[in-house]
């Protein structure tokens, strides 16, 4: 495995393999993989999905993922590291929005295997952006850091719009109601705006009786609306704790907790660890799905 560059904000690896070798990496934020050539299958949590030239996968923050290589495969791994956001100026509107978009991707993508880019034109865009990043890091090194960051921003924008187009939420397999998928998207897009999450507001937006919203949600998602919103907020808390320099006061205010004490108690109740223990452990809890042993 060749590491082309390993800047603090990101890491790029180009790998040419006949047989998959388990990678000893820890994805605190997230990582993309582009298939340059070859074919086989990807496995996450015992789910398999065929890959081929041009496939783009988002690798989740799990230790378990693998590829079954059928023909020699060239992979390019692009890792978005937490240092990019921790060393950024939070006063910058663009960088703050970039972080929130990345957090949205990480907290809502269901982490099952499959090509994350469905749109053919977007797939071509991403391939070109990957190619430009590779060329920049091979030929220009440190002088290209800012340019590569802008290219990565473009990749994130494409990922975000493709994720919003699809059903990337954990729903019962027999669900056929598009309204609940739209509601979940809406809730997660407005997770830091408490007024948008109120039953009365959701009832108005989705043309449902305010007395039926909670029952409708529980029937479709199998948990209460209140619990879903709390866990969605706490996933964002996990991301901010591990990947940014936001203070607890800022996190609590941004996500609609009464104060730091309210945030800390809620976090402990649902995550099972105190915030200090969680940060020391350095791994996601609510954000993780079932982990396989492969």
Average pLDDT over residues 81-98: 60
Q: Is the Cα dihedral 267, 272, 276, 278 positive or negative?
A: negative
163 token code pair: 């994720």
- Check residue 28 and give its pLDDT: 64
- Check residue 198 and give its pLDDT: 95
Using a 10 angstrom Cβ sphere, with 0-12 exposed, 13-18 middle and 19 or more buried, the burial of residue 218 is middle
Q: Is the pLDDT of residue 106 over 90?
A: no
More confident residue, 215 or 9: 215
Using a 10 angstrom Cβ sphere, with 0-12 exposed, 13-18 middle and 19 or more buried, the burial of residue 183 is buried
* Interior angle at CA 235, CA 35 and CA 89, nearest 5: 80
- Check residue 263 and give its pLDDT: 97
Helical axes 225-243 vs 93-108, angle rounded to 10°? 120
* pLDDT tens digits along 116-171: 888 889 999 999 999 999 988 888 767 778 888 889 888 988 988 887 776 666 66
- Check residue 271 and give its pLDDT: 95
- Check residue 294 and give its pLDDT: 40
- Check residue 129 and give its pLDDT: 95
**DSSP-H helix ranges across 20-113:** 83-86, 93-108
Tell me what percent of the residues of the chain surpass a pLDDT of 90: 43
Q: How many CB atoms are located within 10 Å of the residue 124 CB?
A: 12
Q: How many residues does the chain have?
A: 294
**DSSP-H helix ranges across the chain:** 83-86, 93-108, 120-139, 145-165, 178-189, 199-205, 213-221, 225-243, 248-254, 260-271, 275-281
More confident residue, 29 or 71: 71
- Check residue 292 and give its pLDDT: 47
* pLDDT tens digits along 8-45: 577 888 999 999 887 766 656 778 899 999 999 988 76
Domains for the chain: give ranges and CATH numbers. Answer: 2-165 (2.60.120.280), 178-281 (1.10.10.60)
Whether 74 contacts 15, CB under 8 Å? yes
Half-sphere exposure of 178 (CA within 13 A, CB side): 2
- Check residue 139 and give its pLDDT: 81
Q: Is the pLDDT of residue 82 over 60?
A: yes
């Amino acid at each position: 495995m060749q590491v082309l560059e390993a800047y603090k904000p990101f890491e790029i690896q180009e790998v040419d393999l006949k047989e998959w070798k388990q990678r000893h990496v820890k994805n605190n934020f997230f990582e993309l993989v582009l298939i340059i050539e070859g074919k086989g299958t990807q496995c996450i949590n015992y789910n398999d999905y065929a890959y081929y030239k041009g496939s783009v996968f988002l690798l989740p923050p799990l230790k378990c993922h693998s590829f079954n290589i059928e023909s020699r495969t060239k992979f390019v791994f692009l890792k978005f590291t937490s240092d990019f956001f921790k060393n950024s100026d939070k006063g910058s509107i663009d960088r703050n929005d970039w972080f929130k978009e990345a957090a949205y991707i990480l907290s809502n993508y269901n982490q099952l295997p499959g090509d994350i880019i469905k749109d053919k034109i977007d797939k071509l865009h991403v391939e070109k952006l990957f190619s430009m990043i590779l060329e920049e890091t091979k030929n220009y090194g440190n002088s290209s850091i800012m340019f590569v960051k802008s290219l990565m921003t473009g990749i994130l924008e494409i990922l975000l719009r493709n994720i919003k187009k699809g059903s990337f939420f954990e729903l019962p397999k027999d669900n056929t109601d598009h309204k609940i998928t739209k509601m979940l998207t809406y809730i997660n897009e407005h997770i830091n705006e408490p007024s948008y999450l109120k039953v009365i507001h959701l009832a108005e937006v989705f043309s449902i009786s305010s007395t039926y919203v909670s029952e409708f949600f529980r029937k479709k998602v199998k948990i209460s609306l209140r619990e879903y919103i709390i866990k969605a907020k706490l996933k964002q808390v996990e991301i901010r704790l591990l990947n940014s320099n936001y203070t607890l006061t800022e996190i609590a205010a941004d996500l609609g907790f009464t104060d730091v004490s309210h945030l800390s108690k809620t976090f402990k109740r649902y995550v099972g660890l105190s915030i200090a223990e969680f940060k020391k452990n350095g791994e996601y809890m609510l954000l993780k799905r079932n982990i396989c042993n492969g």
